[in-house]
Amino acid sequence: MKKVILFISGILIFTLSFGQTNFKWEKTDSITKTKDQLYSDTKMFIAETWKSSKDVIQNDDKDGGIVLIKGASTQKIMHVMAEYVFVYSYNVTCKMKNGKYKMNLDNVHCESARITGGTTVVPKVEPFDGNICPSAYGGKGKFGDKVVLMMTSLKSELQGIVDSYEKYIKTTSTKSSEW
């Protein structure tokens, strides 16, 4: 009995120590653009990436060279004739100065989880760490396999934001064109 309790305690400590971390994407690079050009490009990227830039921009400081975005991602799982809907929120911070930009994507966490049809599921989902699936669903069985796929999809979506921003900043020209 002592071995079983010790084993279970060890698993809980291991799960909690790895499940409570919050994954963070960070991209810093140098570029031959002014702070104003980077700011303008960043605002255009936001307008083209999110449905409503007014809804997602939480802080917009042109003089300080910072734009803070709060975004959300909806992930769905179909399992045993029910649809589980998870809403993850995240923050994107874009900082810029002459010749350099930095993008942080962090604070990814489950805002809500529900089953389609109105039944509320208490979100006992651990913070997203980029690799470990939510411990509430443990990654066991067919549902756990679907959770792992969902988390992989979420990670790809968030990585896509970082990659798209980098590409946009590097390829967009802010020079006036004769139109």
Is 106 inside any structural domain? yes
User: pTM, whole model, 2 decimals?
Assistant: 0.74
Question: Using one digit for the tens of pLDDT, what is the confidence trace for 12-34?
Answer: 343 333 333 456 789 999 999 99
Report how far residue 125's alpha carbon sits from residue 107's, in angstroms, rounded to the nearest whole number: 14
Query: Does some domain include residue 45?
Result: yes
Does 164 fall in a domain? yes
CATH of the domain at 111: 3.30.530.80
Question: What is the number of structural domains in the chain?
Answer: 1
- Return the axis-axis angle of helices 35-49 and 141-171, rounded to nearest 10°: 140
Per-residue pLDDT reduced to its tens digit, 91-107: 999 999 999 999 999 99
Q: Would you say residue 2 lies in a domain?
A: no
DSSP state string for 104-120: EEEEEEEEEEEETTTEE
User: How many CA atoms does the CB half-sphere of 165 hold within 13 Å?
Assistant: 30
**Within-domain flag for 36:** yes
Per-residue pLDDT tens over the stretch 113-151: 777 765 555 444 454 544 444 544 555 677 778 887 888
Residue 5 counted as domain residue: no
Owning domain of residue 56? 22-171
Output b/e per residue, 129-163; b: 16+ Cβ within 10 A: beebbbbebeeeeeeeebbbebbeebbeebeebbe
